[in-house]
Structure 1
């Protein structure tokens, strides 16, 4: 074989190989499609679909800075509680709420988780589960606030006792502007008899609604262990430039729902001075205030309380609140308390 033949054969072989490579050209893979977050407007503003699901999620919360003023404020430092000598205390809170909703044959299935972190100092902080519950077709189960946590809009009224956050089972019927329901509550943070453990069971009934400019609520709670209960009625009505609120409570004896006094009446007038400014004076009178430890029954002493709360919206989602309260009664020292708060909601 001469050199010419060798060169021609090599060129032919190279052409064949080149042709094969050209036929098998590399094709770049297409990028995976991106699933953008979709707005869910079925349950109001702020919801979006969790990618890949038909569940709608809403995230909201607030950041709060507050300074409490009054005698014997508990100051917390690196060594824990340093109690009883300070007349002021500053705290900061961060809270976030997750609300998930999806459609079912029984109506919307709702799940709520509220996480809260309170910081009194760098060394003294606590994180709590503020609420977590499941809600469907009027039934609610989990850790949530009872109807007794509702109150007038100011800071003067004391219309519930002990803790209002319970592990509960509740059914609430709703129709238009009316609701009525019943709940069974585990009362672990309330009143209990000497020698017993705080693991009571309570039953609460509630109804309320709105009729024009008038809102109302009537609730009752029975503490089965203490065999005592309380009834509360509360209402508001638009009058002039503000809203007038009235409330009354009666307690049969020491119980986990209300036992500040045997009877009490409260009133407030929330004045909407401007679009951003609300001023709320309030007053409350207590008949047979607090418990007589000797008789394990209400005392024969009375007390009264007056206060003023001012709310101001600095800008959208940024608020300031200031409150001052004065309490005086038979056989107790009068006391003045208050706080100043800044809160950014989102």
Structure 2
């Protein structure tokens, strides 16, 4: 054994003794274990593991400040916001998901926007509506909105192959609080069949029967990817209660990495009423978008919109 080996061994021994002695000194705090937040890439971008659990959470939101312009009257200034919590856990019965959205109201308060539990194909709670989930036009205004805002129980099978999916929903609604329903409330049944994720785009057809009016709604829509920059959306709907047919057509063009322009037209066939929207979205920085719109409605009036949206 040479002198270098002896000296290194002695130094290592002294360090071990010193560390052990220091650990025994009174009053020395014991460092707490740190449970760092870890990225969860199982469910896509934005999720992270809730420390100490196998549940992944994504927190997203939006704040908007806007000026609504009536060219014949005045300018109205508004602001609104929402925050969304999406928690998912992989289980032996597929993904268990819970979703909660809280948003501002016109009365300067807050309300629950969506709140549902989802396990595999099954969803129950205040969830998205089949009638509004496809075929909409572009921009801040959807002229073909038939959606319900009530409690629902849904079955959605989205792994039929080839991008096809099918869904069935039962809805119960009461007047008053949309998050409260009872068995004697009005009920609605919805169904949808569609295809998504195709190189050419997506398409769907949905139908709804409403007990309150003993009437039905039918809506068909599609969005076509014409080029990488240009997409076109079209929809048609029939409201049996109003005996009215609605048609809508829209186009969106990504002019640059920051600028997207769009236009929509809508027509109520039996009422012979026409409306149109022209607008643009400009990405100032990542997460901040400036939107401008000019809208012509069926009353022969023009309105405008200037809006800043911050999303995360």
Flag whether TM exceeds 0.5 (same fold). Answer: yes
Q: Does 1:116 align with 2:98?
A: no
Superposed counterparts of 1:224-243, under 5 Å: 224-240=211-227, 241-243=229-231
- Give the structure with the higher percent strand: 1
**TM-fit CA distance, 1:153:** 2.2
RMSD over aligned CA atoms reads: 2.3
Q: Does 1:142 align with 2:125?
A: yes
Equivalent residue, structure 1, for 2:49: 49
Using a 3 Å threshold, how does the CA distance of structure 1 residues 129 and 25 change in structure 2: closer, same or farther?
A: closer
Distance in 2, matches of 1:160 and 1:187, equals: 18
Q: Does 1:125 align with 2:112?
A: no
Superposed counterparts of 1:287-306, under 5 Å: 287-289=269-271, 302-306=272-276
Distance in 1, matches of 2:98 and 2:209, equals: 28
* Contact 2:71–2:304 (CA under 8 A) maintained in structure 1: no
Equivalent residue, structure 1, for 2:300: 334
* Contact 2:137–2:264 (CA under 8 A) maintained in structure 1: no
Distance in 1, matches of 2:71 and 2:187, equals: 35
* Runs of 5+ consecutive residues of structure 2 not aligned to the other structure: 1-23, 177-183
Using a 3 Å threshold, how does the CA distance of structure 1 residues 70 and 147 change in structure 2: closer, same or farther?
A: farther
Using a 3 Å threshold, how does the CA distance of structure 1 residues 341 and 27 change in structure 2: closer, same or farther?
A: closer
1:273-318 CA-to-partner distances (Å, cap 9, x unmatched) read 11221111111111223xxxxxxxxxxxx21112212111111111
**TM-fit CA distance, 1:94:** 2.2
TM-score of the superposition, structure 1-length normalised?
0.74
Distance in 2, matches of 1:91 and 1:214, equals: 35
Helix, strand or coil at the partner of 2:99:
strand
Equivalent residue, structure 1, for 2:247: 265
**TM-fit CA distance, 1:71:** 7.6
Equivalent residue, structure 1, for 2:259: 277
1:103-143 CA-to-partner distances (Å, cap 9, x unmatched) read 1111110011111124x6xxx51211111110111111111
Equivalent residue, structure 1, for 2:152: 168
Equivalent residue, structure 2, for 1:250: 238
Using a 3 Å threshold, how does the CA distance of structure 1 residues 61 and 179 change in structure 2: closer, same or farther?
A: same
* Contact 1:157–1:282 (CA under 8 A) maintained in structure 2: no
Distance in 2, matches of 1:345 and 1:308, equals: 22
**TM-fit CA distance, 1:324:** 1.4
* Runs of 5+ consecutive residues of structure 1 not aligned to the other structure: 1-23, 73-85, 191-197, 255-260, 290-301
Count of aligned pairs: 276
Q: Does 1:159 align with 2:141?
A: no
Equivalent residue, structure 2, for 1:33: 33
TM-score of the superposition, structure 2-length normalised?
0.82
| Larger Rg, first or second structure (1 or 2) | 1
Distance in 1, matches of 2:265 and 2:81, equals: 31
Equivalent residue, structure 2, for 1:312: 282
Distance in 2, matches of 1:155 and 1:26, equals: 65
* Contact 2:138–2:263 (CA under 8 A) maintained in structure 1: no
